[in-house]
Amino acid sequence: MRQAVGRLVVRALRYRVVGEPAPTDTACVLIGAPHTSWLDFPLMLGIAWSEDLVPKWLGKKELFHAPFGGVMRSLGGIPVDRENPGSLVADMAERAGAGDRFALVVAPEGTRGSARGWKSGFYRIAADSGVPIVLTYLDGPTRTGGFGPRITPSGDVRADMDEIRAFYADKSGVVPARKTEPRLRDEDPEA
């Protein structure tokens, strides 16, 4: 049933799923980028469900207040207090590394608007848990979205991010003007 709903959502929003098969065989961290529109959420769920993947996802805590908090949690949402994230990375790394089928979607921009760069939580969760990062995307100009390659964090943040930047170079998001350059503060130890 969920797979049929996912296909319906993707079709209704006039997108096509392209790219590599969904990572249904392993625990992973999925990058949800570029994050540029409120449509990213239904498209992300639609694409994942249509490919038989039931992801967890991180969202700002305000999304989980009544009356919709229960719905958001039932759709896989995990609330994040962006002002006080505490042990979020460690908690997510523990869950991802537990060996269960666990796919966690992280939007590294942290917002739908243009940001100054990406937050590094997705990288730290994957590195700390030993699971791959799967690059996923939405591209408004081609009305496509899907799954890209898997990257295993090497510890060389700049080299890994160069690979990530190369993948996202031609992906624009639903609203291309809001796309954020994939760059982490961790790439420059002096920053």
8 A C-beta contact, residue 45 and residue 75 = yes
Specify if 112 maps to a domain: yes
Confidence (pTM): 0.88
Specify if 155 maps to a domain: yes
State the pLDDT at residue 111: 67
Q: Measured between alpha carbons, how far is residue 169 from residues 7, 55, 145, 153, 166 in Å? A: 27, 25, 14, 20, 5
Specify if 190 maps to a domain: no
Specify if 150 maps to a domain: yes
In angstroms, the CA 143 to CA 15 distance is: 5
- Provide the domain limits for residue 127: 2-185
In angstroms, the CA 23 to CA 48 distance is: 10
- The predicted-structure confidence for 41-55, as pLDDT tens digits, reads as follows 999 999 999 999 999
In angstroms, the CA 16 to CA 12 distance is: 10
DSSP string, 100-168: S--EEEE-TT-SSS--SS--SHHHHHHHHHT--EEEEEEETTTTEEEEEEEE---S-HHHHHHHHHHHH
Q: 40-50 and 2-12 are packed helices; what angle lies between their axes, rounded to 10 degrees?
A: 130
Q: Please name the amino acid found at residue 50.
A: S
Tens digit of pLDDT at every position of the chain (191 positions): 999 999 999 999 999 999 999 998 889 999 999 989 999 999 999 999 999 999 999 888 898 999 989 999 999 998 888 777 778 888 888 888 787 788 999 989 876 666 678 988 899 999 999 999 999 999 999 999 999 999 999 999 999 999 999 999 999 999 999 888 898 876 765 44
Specify if 28 maps to a domain: yes
Cα angle 171-177-180, degrees, rounded to a multiple of 5:
60
DSSP state of 51: T
8 A C-beta contact, residue 45 and residue 121 = no
- The predicted-structure confidence for 157-183, as pLDDT tens digits, reads as follows 999 999 999 999 999 999 999 888 898
Number of domains into which the chain is organized: 1
Specify if 39 maps to a domain: yes
